[in-house]
Amino acid sequence: MTDVSPPTRLWGARFSGGPADALSRLSMSVQFDWRLAPYDLLASRAHARVLHRAGLLTDAELQRIVVALDELDHDARHGAFRPTPEDEDVHTALERGLLERVGVLGGKLRAGRSRNDQVATDLRLYLRDHVRQIAGRVAELETALIEQAERNIDVPAPGMTHMQHAQPVLFAHHLLAHVHPFVRDIARLRDWDRRAAVSPLGAGALAGSSLPLDPDAVATELGFSGAAANSIDAVSDRDFVAEFLFCAAMIGVHLSRLGEEIVLWTTREFRWVELDDAYSTGSSIMPQKKNPDVAELARGKAGRLIGDLMTMLVVLKGLPLAYDRDLQEDKEPVFDAVDTLLLVLPAVAGMVSTMQVNAQRLTETAADGFALATDVAEHLVRKGVPFRDAHEAVGHLVVWCTVHECDLGDVSDADLAAVSEHLTPDVRDVLSVDGALSSRGAPGGTSPKRVREQLDSVRERVHTHAAWATDS
């Protein structure tokens, strides 16, 4: 170790005294931005190489700096190097670490860059990495839903609108309806990734550098598709943060809608599914209780994910170009959204893959609430009755059945005729759940054939997404 007294600040020469404690406490971000350390070190290595190519570091100096940065990376990952309360932020802490290892030579690395372009770069690197992890967890949840759909491929279920029985559907069709939103979520993350693949490094504080650096080479080395086209935009742009937070909030909303349904499905009133004990909780007072807390927390976490997005949008609104310290507020919502999703997604996937579907209950109730009424009306339409009249005739039949406490198929020929001249005995031909399901064979419909096709195509999409998530 070279003998230099470690600096605790990256600025200060023009100030007569040290900062007030209150300022230091307010200003400090190292307690949360320390997790950017591996990404800051990646960017530092690329920057060292660009300084070397520009003739600003000798071969030997580059070598010493890169070795020290590797060591620092190792020590930071293993806790041997830690930030101290005097380090304002991750950049300060790592510069101290470098100076501790290579002495004054470490001071050369700051040439041509600023914390403004550094922090914007670090956050992009961090997010591009974590977005892949999130996509991987979303793909696991999709797989859990697809496998449940497969296991219950022939099970009919009540289909609802307004939470009222509407028309029978395949339960697999309903489960797959929860997969498509997540498929769009991953597509959105991939699309986000293309736009986020821009490197701010080289923008310096805001105006670029007078040193002969090569921002495009740095961008390529860091896996970006290119360097930012405008140095002012490079340091002030946080669209990639807001967009990510929107994607995260949307995943949260989808998890919440799924969670809400699972809560309902597990009630005594529904009894559609039973959760595995490993994914249920008990009550401290009521010994009989089995609660769907995973589903409820999935629903609840949407609140904080939406809040994270709101925080960022409000911070950005009205912010003048280029860098302002307000931008330091971007990190906590990002970390919170990432942590929240990585926490909740595996729990929901586990709950879905282990839940027991009550096929008997679903089958028995699929046609409840006169859910085949539309099939009767459409049968009449095929016989030439205008839909308006068919709708009215079946409406009267429903009232008749309600009053007589019977189902559509229980009405005698004479009573059918008494209700409406259109209601001939052949209407009973369409009063079967299986018939209703298989008749809905248009693309996107709930017929068993269409649902099987859908299952295959969605499984294909999930494979591609899972592959993208693991490909770094």
Distance (Å, rounded) from C-alpha 280 to C-alpha 394?
A: 43
- Choose, from 27, 74, 225, 283, the residue flagged as catalytic: 283
User: Could you tell me the smallest distance in angstroms from the CB atom of residue 131 to ligand ARG?
Assistant: 20
Give the nearest distance from C-beta 33 to ligand ARG in angstroms.
6
| Binding-site member from 29, 199, 420, 454 for ligand ARG (CB under 6 A) | 29
Smallest gap from residue 65 Cβ to ligand ARG (A): 21
Nearer to ligand ARG, 96 or 461 (CB): 96
**Burial class for 3, CB neighbours closer than 10 Å (0-12, 13-18, 19+):** exposed
According to DSSP, the β-strands at 198-199 and 226-227 are: parallel
- Full DSSP string of 232-247: HHHHH--HHHHHHHHH
Q: Which residues, 33 to 62, sit near ligand ARG by CB under 6 A? A: 33
> Which CB sits closer to ligand ARG, 89 or 375?
89
Q: Is residue 115 part of the contact set for ligand ARG (CB under 6 A)? A: yes
Looking at 87, 89, 185, 336, which residue binds ligand ARG (CB under 6 A)?
Answer: 89
Q: Which of 162, 210, 412, 472 is catalytic?
A: 162
8 A C-beta contact, residue 88 and residue 28: yes
Which residue has 């028309």 as its token pair? 167
- Considering only 167, 328, 420, 446, the residue that binds ligand ARG (CB under 6 A) is 328
Q: Interacting stretch for ligand ARG, rule CB under 6 A, among 52-60, 112-120, 286-294, 353-361?
A: 112-120
Q: What is the 3-state secondary structure (H, E, C) of 374-434?
A: HHHHHHHHHCCCCHHHHHHHHHHHHHHHHHCCCCHHHCCHHHHHHHCCCCCHHHHHHCCHH
Options 41, 93, 119, 258; binder of ligand ARG; rule CB under 6 A? 119
3-state SS assignment for residue 15: coil
Comparison of 168 and 208: residue with beta carbon closer to ligand ARG? 208
Indicate the residue among 119 and 186 with the shorter CB distance to ligand ARG.
119
Which amino acid is present at 13?
Answer: A
- Greatest CA span in the chain, whole angstroms? 105
Residue type, 200: P
- Asked if residue 433 lies in contact with residue 156, where contact means CB atoms within 8 angstroms, the answer is yes
Residue found under tokens 């009630």: 267
Contact segment (CB under 6 A) with ligand ARG among 102-110, 111-119, 342-350, 402-410 equals 111-119
Instruction: Single out the segment in contact with ligand ARG by CB under 6 A; choices: 190-198, 264-272, 320-328, 385-393.
Output: 320-328
Between 328 and 353, CB nearer to ligand ARG? 328
* Least distance (Å) between residue 309 CB and ligand ARG: 19
User: Catalytic site residue 463?
Assistant: no
Q: Is 340 in the site for ligand ARG (CB under 6 A)?
A: no
- CA dist 409 and 388 (Å) reads 22
Min dist. Cβ of residue 334 to ligand ARG (A): 11
Which parts of 133-162 interact with ligand ARG (CB under 6 A)?
A: none
In the complex, minimum distance from the CB of residue 85 to ligand ARG, in angstroms, rounded to a whole number: 15
Element (DSSP H or E) covering residue 356: strand 356-357
Q: How many residues does the chain have?
A: 472
Which residue is listed with tokens 């839909």? 387
Which phi and psi angles does 161 have, rounded to 5°? -130, 150
167 part of the interface to ligand ARG, by CB under 6 A = no
Give alpha helix (H) positions in 197-324: 215-221, 231-236, 239-265, 293-316
Q: Which helix (H) or strand (E) holds 361?
A: helix 359-365
Question: Three-state SS for 175?
Answer: helix
When the beta carbons of 124 and 173 are compared against ligand ARG, the nearer one is: 124
In whole angstroms, the minimum distance from the beta carbon of 205 to ligand ARG comes to 7
| Binds ligand ARG (CB under 6 A): choice among 99, 144, 273, 327 | 327
Query: Is 283 noted as a catalytic residue in this protein?
Result: yes
Which are the catalytic amino acids? 162, 283
Binding region for ligand ARG (CB under 6 A): 29, 33, 89, 115-116, 119, 323, 325, 327-328
